[in-house]
Amino acid sequence: MAEKHTDGETRREGRARGREDEPLSIRQLEVFDALVTHGSFTAAAAHMGVSQPTVSGHMADLERRLGMRLVERVHKGVRVTPEGEKLLPPARAALRGERNVRVAATELHGLVTGSLPVGASTIPAVYLLPDRLAAFTAEHPEVHLRLLTGSSERTLDRLASGEVELAVVGTNPTRRGMRSTEFTADRLVLIFAPGHPFASRRGITRDDVLGETLVMRTSGSGTRAAMLEGLGLRQAPLDGVLEVDGTDGVKAMVRAGLGVSFISELAVREDLAHGFLCTADVHDFRVERSFYVVTRSEGTPGPAVRAFEEVLSRDCIGAGSSS
Protein backbone atom coordinates (compact mmCIF):
# COMPACT_ATOMS: atom_id res chain seq x y z
CA MET A 1 0.00 0.00 0.00
CA ALA A 2 1.35 3.45 -0.93
CA GLU A 3 2.28 5.67 2.00
CA LYS A 4 0.04 8.70 2.32
CA HIS A 5 1.26 12.14 3.30
CA THR A 6 -0.77 14.89 4.89
CA ASP A 7 -0.92 18.30 3.23
CA GLY A 8 1.23 19.72 6.06
CA GLU A 9 3.96 17.12 5.54
CA THR A 10 3.94 17.75 1.80
CA ARG A 11 4.34 21.50 2.30
CA ARG A 12 7.22 20.99 4.78
CA GLU A 13 9.05 18.66 2.39
CA GLY A 14 8.53 21.14 -0.42
CA ARG A 15 10.02 23.95 1.64
CA ALA A 16 13.01 21.77 2.60
CA ARG A 17 13.63 20.83 -1.02
CA GLY A 18 13.30 24.47 -2.01
CA ARG A 19 15.97 25.49 0.45
CA GLU A 20 18.38 22.75 -0.63
CA ASP A 21 17.81 23.51 -4.32
CA GLU A 22 18.68 27.20 -3.98
CA PRO A 23 22.28 27.75 -5.14
CA LEU A 24 24.80 29.12 -2.70
CA SER A 25 26.91 32.14 -3.59
CA ILE A 26 30.65 32.53 -3.24
CA ARG A 27 30.03 35.73 -1.26
CA GLN A 28 27.99 33.83 1.31
CA LEU A 29 30.78 31.29 1.75
CA GLU A 30 33.34 34.09 2.04
CA VAL A 31 31.26 35.63 4.82
CA PHE A 32 31.01 32.29 6.63
CA ASP A 33 34.77 31.78 6.37
CA ALA A 34 35.51 35.34 7.52
CA LEU A 35 33.20 34.98 10.53
CA VAL A 36 34.95 31.81 11.64
CA THR A 37 38.42 33.21 10.99
CA HIS A 38 37.93 36.59 12.69
CA GLY A 39 35.46 35.57 15.40
CA SER A 40 32.87 38.34 15.17
CA PHE A 41 30.53 40.11 12.74
CA THR A 42 32.37 43.40 13.31
CA ALA A 43 35.82 41.95 12.59
CA ALA A 44 34.56 40.01 9.56
CA ALA A 45 32.95 43.15 8.13
CA ALA A 46 36.14 45.16 8.64
CA HIS A 47 38.20 42.45 6.93
CA MET A 48 35.86 42.26 3.95
CA GLY A 49 35.42 46.02 3.65
CA VAL A 50 31.63 45.92 3.99
CA SER A 51 29.09 46.94 6.63
CA GLN A 52 28.13 44.69 9.52
CA PRO A 53 24.48 44.50 8.34
CA THR A 54 25.77 43.23 4.97
CA VAL A 55 27.67 40.42 6.71
CA SER A 56 24.61 39.60 8.85
CA GLY A 57 22.37 39.54 5.79
CA HIS A 58 24.62 37.20 3.80
CA MET A 59 24.98 34.88 6.80
CA ALA A 60 21.24 34.79 7.47
CA ASP A 61 20.57 34.00 3.81
CA LEU A 62 23.16 31.20 3.80
CA GLU A 63 21.68 29.63 6.94
CA ARG A 64 18.18 29.94 5.48
CA ARG A 65 19.21 28.18 2.28
CA LEU A 66 20.95 25.40 4.20
CA GLY A 67 18.17 25.12 6.76
CA MET A 68 20.49 25.17 9.78
CA ARG A 69 22.46 27.46 12.07
CA LEU A 70 26.18 27.66 11.29
CA VAL A 71 27.25 30.16 13.95
CA GLU A 72 25.84 31.37 17.24
CA ARG A 73 26.26 34.83 18.73
CA VAL A 74 28.11 34.77 22.05
CA HIS A 75 29.61 37.45 24.26
CA LYS A 76 31.92 39.59 22.10
CA GLY A 77 31.78 37.32 19.06
CA VAL A 78 30.46 34.17 17.46
CA ARG A 79 30.82 30.45 18.07
CA VAL A 80 30.68 27.84 15.33
CA THR A 81 27.91 25.28 15.74
CA PRO A 82 28.57 21.53 15.27
CA GLU A 83 26.82 21.80 11.89
CA GLY A 84 29.05 24.74 10.98
CA GLU A 85 32.17 22.75 11.92
CA LYS A 86 31.15 20.02 9.49
CA LEU A 87 30.34 22.40 6.65
CA LEU A 88 33.40 24.67 7.04
CA PRO A 89 35.90 22.34 5.24
CA PRO A 90 33.77 21.93 2.08
CA ALA A 91 32.98 25.65 2.15
CA ARG A 92 36.68 26.50 2.19
CA ALA A 93 37.33 23.91 -0.52
CA ALA A 94 34.72 25.65 -2.67
CA LEU A 95 36.44 29.00 -2.11
CA ARG A 96 39.80 27.49 -3.12
CA GLY A 97 38.14 26.10 -6.24
CA GLU A 98 36.74 29.51 -7.11
CA ARG A 99 40.18 31.08 -6.69
CA ASN A 100 41.69 28.40 -8.93
CA VAL A 101 39.16 29.23 -11.65
CA ARG A 102 40.14 32.90 -11.50
CA VAL A 103 43.83 31.98 -11.54
CA ALA A 104 43.31 29.77 -14.60
CA ALA A 105 41.42 32.56 -16.38
CA THR A 106 44.21 35.02 -15.60
CA GLU A 107 46.75 32.49 -16.91
CA LEU A 108 44.87 32.33 -20.21
CA HIS A 109 45.06 36.09 -20.50
CA GLY A 110 48.73 36.07 -19.51
CA LEU A 111 48.24 39.09 -17.25
CA VAL A 112 49.66 39.95 -13.84
CA THR A 113 46.66 41.75 -12.36
CA GLY A 114 44.20 41.56 -9.50
CA SER A 115 44.65 41.55 -5.74
CA LEU A 116 47.58 39.95 -3.91
CA PRO A 117 47.20 39.57 -0.13
CA VAL A 118 50.61 38.92 1.47
CA GLY A 119 51.16 37.90 5.09
CA ALA A 120 54.29 38.63 7.09
CA SER A 121 55.53 38.31 10.63
CA THR A 122 56.78 41.46 12.36
CA ILE A 123 60.47 41.52 11.39
CA PRO A 124 59.98 40.82 7.66
CA ALA A 125 57.04 43.22 7.47
CA VAL A 126 59.04 46.14 8.87
CA TYR A 127 62.66 45.46 7.92
CA LEU A 128 62.69 43.19 4.86
CA LEU A 129 59.60 43.65 2.71
CA PRO A 130 59.10 47.40 2.18
CA ASP A 131 61.80 47.69 -0.52
CA ARG A 132 60.63 44.47 -2.19
CA LEU A 133 57.01 45.60 -2.13
CA ALA A 134 58.06 48.89 -3.72
CA ALA A 135 60.00 47.04 -6.45
CA PHE A 136 57.04 44.76 -7.14
CA THR A 137 54.59 47.67 -7.34
CA ALA A 138 56.88 49.51 -9.76
CA GLU A 139 57.05 46.44 -12.03
CA HIS A 140 53.39 45.44 -11.70
CA PRO A 141 51.27 48.52 -10.99
CA GLU A 142 48.08 46.67 -11.99
CA VAL A 143 48.29 44.45 -8.89
CA HIS A 144 46.66 45.67 -5.68
CA LEU A 145 48.90 44.61 -2.78
CA ARG A 146 47.63 44.01 0.75
CA LEU A 147 50.04 43.32 3.63
CA LEU A 148 48.66 41.59 6.74
CA THR A 149 51.03 41.37 9.71
CA GLY A 150 51.07 39.24 12.84
CA SER A 151 53.10 36.54 14.56
CA SER A 152 54.59 33.75 12.47
CA GLU A 153 51.89 31.32 13.65
CA ARG A 154 49.07 33.78 12.95
CA THR A 155 50.48 34.47 9.50
CA LEU A 156 50.67 30.75 8.68
CA ASP A 157 47.07 30.37 9.87
CA ARG A 158 46.09 33.06 7.38
CA LEU A 159 47.94 31.25 4.61
CA ALA A 160 46.27 27.93 5.44
CA SER A 161 42.79 29.50 5.42
CA GLY A 162 43.39 31.30 2.12
CA GLU A 163 43.28 34.78 3.66
CA VAL A 164 46.74 35.43 2.17
CA GLU A 165 48.38 33.88 -0.88
CA LEU A 166 52.00 34.08 0.26
CA ALA A 167 53.70 34.48 3.64
CA VAL A 168 57.13 35.59 4.86
CA VAL A 169 57.80 34.31 8.38
CA GLY A 170 60.59 33.63 10.86
CA THR A 171 59.96 29.90 11.24
CA ASN A 172 60.23 27.09 8.72
CA PRO A 173 56.71 25.61 8.73
CA THR A 174 56.19 21.93 9.50
CA ARG A 175 52.52 22.04 8.55
CA ARG A 176 51.24 19.81 5.79
CA GLY A 177 50.31 21.48 2.54
CA MET A 178 52.91 24.25 2.65
CA ARG A 179 55.96 24.89 0.50
CA SER A 180 58.80 27.05 1.86
CA THR A 181 61.97 28.66 0.50
CA GLU A 182 64.70 30.15 2.68
CA PHE A 183 64.69 33.89 2.06
CA THR A 184 67.43 35.55 4.10
CA ALA A 185 69.46 35.04 7.27
CA ASP A 186 69.46 36.93 10.55
CA ARG A 187 70.76 36.47 14.10
CA LEU A 188 69.57 37.34 17.56
CA VAL A 189 71.62 39.79 19.62
CA LEU A 190 71.44 40.68 23.31
CA ILE A 191 70.09 44.17 24.04
CA PHE A 192 69.97 46.18 27.25
CA ALA A 193 69.63 49.81 28.33
CA PRO A 194 72.78 52.01 28.33
CA GLY A 195 72.63 52.25 32.13
CA HIS A 196 72.36 48.50 32.71
CA PRO A 197 75.23 46.74 34.60
CA PHE A 198 75.92 44.66 31.48
CA ALA A 199 77.20 47.85 29.82
CA SER A 200 80.38 47.76 31.92
CA ARG A 201 80.86 43.99 31.99
CA ARG A 202 82.75 41.58 29.82
CA GLY A 203 82.33 37.86 29.48
CA ILE A 204 78.54 37.77 29.84
CA THR A 205 77.20 34.20 29.97
CA ARG A 206 73.85 32.62 29.38
CA ASP A 207 73.42 32.16 33.15
CA ASP A 208 74.03 35.88 33.64
CA VAL A 209 71.19 36.62 31.24
CA LEU A 210 68.88 34.13 32.94
CA GLY A 211 69.45 36.03 36.17
CA GLU A 212 67.82 39.12 34.65
CA THR A 213 64.20 39.92 33.83
CA LEU A 214 63.65 38.69 30.28
CA VAL A 215 61.57 40.83 27.94
CA MET A 216 60.15 38.63 25.19
CA ARG A 217 57.50 38.48 22.52
CA THR A 218 54.22 36.72 23.18
CA SER A 219 53.58 33.10 22.24
CA GLY A 220 53.53 32.35 18.50
CA SER A 221 56.48 34.62 17.71
CA GLY A 222 59.41 33.14 15.80
CA THR A 223 61.80 35.45 17.68
CA ARG A 224 60.49 34.16 21.01
CA ALA A 225 60.93 30.52 19.94
CA ALA A 226 64.50 31.18 18.76
CA MET A 227 65.34 33.05 21.97
CA LEU A 228 64.10 30.23 24.21
CA GLU A 229 65.98 27.66 22.14
CA GLY A 230 69.20 29.66 22.40
CA LEU A 231 68.82 29.92 26.17
CA GLY A 232 68.27 26.17 26.43
CA LEU A 233 64.68 26.58 27.66
CA ARG A 234 61.75 24.44 26.51
CA GLN A 235 59.30 27.09 27.68
CA ALA A 236 59.36 30.53 29.22
CA PRO A 237 60.04 30.69 32.98
CA LEU A 238 57.04 31.42 35.17
CA ASP A 239 58.89 34.24 36.95
CA GLY A 240 61.20 36.96 35.71
CA VAL A 241 59.55 37.37 32.29
CA LEU A 242 57.85 40.41 30.78
CA GLU A 243 55.83 39.50 27.69
CA VAL A 244 55.24 42.18 25.07
CA ASP A 245 53.26 42.07 21.83
CA GLY A 246 55.56 43.40 19.11
CA THR A 247 59.22 44.13 18.44
CA ASP A 248 58.87 47.86 19.10
CA GLY A 249 57.29 47.04 22.45
CA VAL A 250 60.26 44.84 23.39
CA LYS A 251 62.72 47.62 22.53
CA ALA A 252 60.70 50.19 24.49
CA MET A 253 60.62 48.02 27.61
CA VAL A 254 64.37 47.36 27.41
CA ARG A 255 65.14 51.06 26.86
CA ALA A 256 63.12 51.80 30.01
CA GLY A 257 65.37 49.46 32.00
CA LEU A 258 62.67 46.85 32.66
CA GLY A 259 64.84 43.93 31.54
CA VAL A 260 67.05 42.53 28.79
CA SER A 261 66.16 40.70 25.63
CA PHE A 262 67.41 39.05 22.48
CA ILE A 263 66.16 40.60 19.29
CA SER A 264 66.72 40.45 15.55
CA GLU A 265 69.90 42.23 14.50
CA LEU A 266 67.91 43.69 11.62
CA ALA A 267 65.49 45.34 14.05
CA VAL A 268 68.01 46.98 16.34
CA ARG A 269 70.68 48.47 14.08
CA GLU A 270 69.43 52.06 14.26
CA ASP A 271 68.86 51.87 18.03
CA LEU A 272 72.46 50.72 18.54
CA ALA A 273 73.83 53.34 16.16
CA HIS A 274 72.05 56.17 18.03
CA GLY A 275 72.96 54.84 21.48
CA PHE A 276 69.37 54.13 22.51
CA LEU A 277 70.30 50.52 23.30
CA CYS A 278 73.48 48.57 23.93
CA THR A 279 74.57 45.08 22.96
CA ALA A 280 77.27 42.59 23.94
CA ASP A 281 78.28 39.08 22.98
CA VAL A 282 77.01 36.28 25.19
CA HIS A 283 79.65 33.59 25.63
CA ASP A 284 77.45 30.53 25.11
CA PHE A 285 74.63 32.02 23.06
CA ARG A 286 74.58 32.20 19.29
CA VAL A 287 71.30 31.92 17.44
CA GLU A 288 71.20 32.35 13.70
CA ARG A 289 67.80 32.14 12.13
CA SER A 290 66.27 32.38 8.70
CA PHE A 291 63.15 33.90 7.22
CA TYR A 292 61.09 31.87 4.77
CA VAL A 293 58.80 32.57 1.85
CA VAL A 294 55.86 30.18 2.20
CA THR A 295 53.02 29.28 -0.16
CA ARG A 296 50.42 26.54 -0.23
CA SER A 297 51.69 23.43 -1.98
CA GLU A 298 48.33 22.48 -3.44
CA GLY A 299 47.10 24.13 -6.62
CA THR A 300 48.96 26.40 -9.00
CA PRO A 301 50.09 29.82 -7.77
CA GLY A 302 48.61 32.66 -9.80
CA PRO A 303 50.66 35.00 -11.98
CA ALA A 304 50.74 37.70 -9.27
CA VAL A 305 52.08 35.25 -6.67
CA ARG A 306 54.73 33.96 -9.07
CA ALA A 307 55.73 37.50 -10.01
CA PHE A 308 56.13 38.43 -6.34
CA GLU A 309 58.10 35.25 -5.69
CA GLU A 310 60.40 36.26 -8.55
CA VAL A 311 61.06 39.64 -6.91
CA LEU A 312 61.79 37.94 -3.58
CA SER A 313 63.98 35.27 -5.22
CA ARG A 314 66.54 37.92 -6.15
CA ASP A 315 67.51 37.82 -2.46
CA CYS A 316 66.70 34.20 -1.58
CA ILE A 317 69.57 32.13 -0.24
CA GLY A 318 68.11 28.60 -0.23
CA ALA A 319 66.12 26.03 -2.14
CA GLY A 320 62.49 25.27 -1.49
CA SER A 321 61.01 22.46 0.56
CA SER A 322 57.51 21.05 0.93
CA SER A 323 55.68 19.59 3.87
Query: What pairs with residue 168 in β-bridges?
Result: 120, 293
How far apart are alpha carbons 194 and 251 in whole angstroms? 12
- Which of 83, 104, 125 is the last residue in one of the domains? 104
* The pLDDT of residue 198 is above 60: yes
Q: pLDDT band for position 318 (50/70/90)?
A: low
Q: Indicate the range of 3-17, 202-216, 280-294 predicted with least confidence.
A: 3-17
Strands 320-322 and 178-192: antiparallel
Domain residue limits at 78:
7-104
**Rounded to the nearest 10 degrees, what angle do helices 82-109 and 303-313 cross at?**
80
* The pLDDT of residue 69 is above 50: yes
Query: 67 with 215, same domain?
Result: no
* The pLDDT of residue 115 is above 80: yes
Query: 121 with 100, same domain?
Result: no
Query: 34 with 173, same domain?
Result: no
The contacts of residue 183 (CB under 8 Å, 6+ apart) are 124, 128, 168, 290, 291, 292, 293, 312, 315, 316, 317, 318
| Higher per-residue confidence, 183 vs 102 | 183
What is the pLDDT, as a whole number, of residue 175?
86
| Higher per-residue confidence, 104 vs 257 | 257
Highest mean pLDDT among 67-71, 173-177, 283-287: 67-71
* The pLDDT of residue 6 is above 60: no
Query: 135 with 99, same domain?
Result: no
* The pLDDT of residue 250 is above 80: yes
Question: In this structure, what are the phi and psi dihedrals at residue 146, rounded to the nearest 5 degrees?
Answer: -130, 130
Query: 99 with 227, same domain?
Result: no
Q: Based on the structure, what is the number of domains in the chain?
A: 2
pTM above 0.75, yes or no: no
Average of per-residue pLDDT values in the chain? 85
The contacts of residue 170 (CB under 8 Å, 6+ apart) are 121, 123, 124, 152, 186, 221, 222, 223, 226, 289, 290, 291, 292
